[in-house]
Amino acid sequence: MHGLTKFLKQQKLGTLFVIVYLLYVTLPTLQYSILAPLFPHLQDILYPRASLLRLFGEHLLLVLLSGISAFVTGIFLGISVTRPWGREFLQSVQDLTALLQTFPPVAVLTLAVPAVGFGFTPAYLALFIYSILPIVRNTITGLLSVPQPLKEAARGMGMTPLQVLIKAELPQAFPAILTGTRISIIINIGTATIGGVIGAGGLGVAIVAGLVRDNTAFVLQGAIAAAGLAFLADYLFELWEQKMNRQE
């Protein structure tokens, strides 16, 4: 009962945060009322070339497209190298993901820009490459941790290898996959701000403009929105995990 009460309180606070955050992103007057008292000496408080809502939409699109692509590809790779026909590549994939994780996003962007130019595409590629790593790693970990007796019992019931994967292995591995996806998306939200440097749009545009023009209000305007989006994503994943735990 105590746990339920705590969860309901958390839900109320979470709902309040979501409402306040959406109002902040949507209403320039609210942004101004928050930032103006902090920077009374500045003439320009809000980034003038695009609304925060538009930058938020660009940022969200970049994160979602790269995140969904990484989710699908990461699970496919994780499944492939844990099957008998792909097991020989397991160690190579694990070593490669560990190596790529050491590359900073800026380095990936630097390599992508000469190949595909400025704009949305290089930022998407960098985020895709960077966000696929936790998903691949956690998918492999989750699938390899499925108890062997469970798989043997599924096969004993007459299931095909595909049915064993879908009905037995993936449900058991999904909590680990969800954790990897959660980490991937949250990292992506912060990393996507770098896209403002190469013309990819997003909340990083206001942050970069503030740094260039020595306008801290612009920086804070975009940073609050980016940080809030990361908290929002984490809160939604937390609700998803709690719902899964209640269904078990």
Task: Give domain limits for the chain.
Answer: 52-247
Could you report the per-residue pLDDT of 9-57, keeping only the tens digit for each?
566 777 888 899 999 999 999 999 999 999 989 888 999 989 999 999 9
Distance of CA 43 to the CA centre of its chain: 35
Residues of the chain with pLDDT under 70: 1-11, 105, 246-248
Q: Check residue 1 and give its pLDDT.
A: 44
> Tell me, what's the pLDDT at 156?
86
Q: What is the model's pLDDT at position 112?
A: 72
Q: Provide the whole-model pTM.
A: 0.86
**Fold (topology level) of 52-247:** MetI-like fold (1.10.3720)
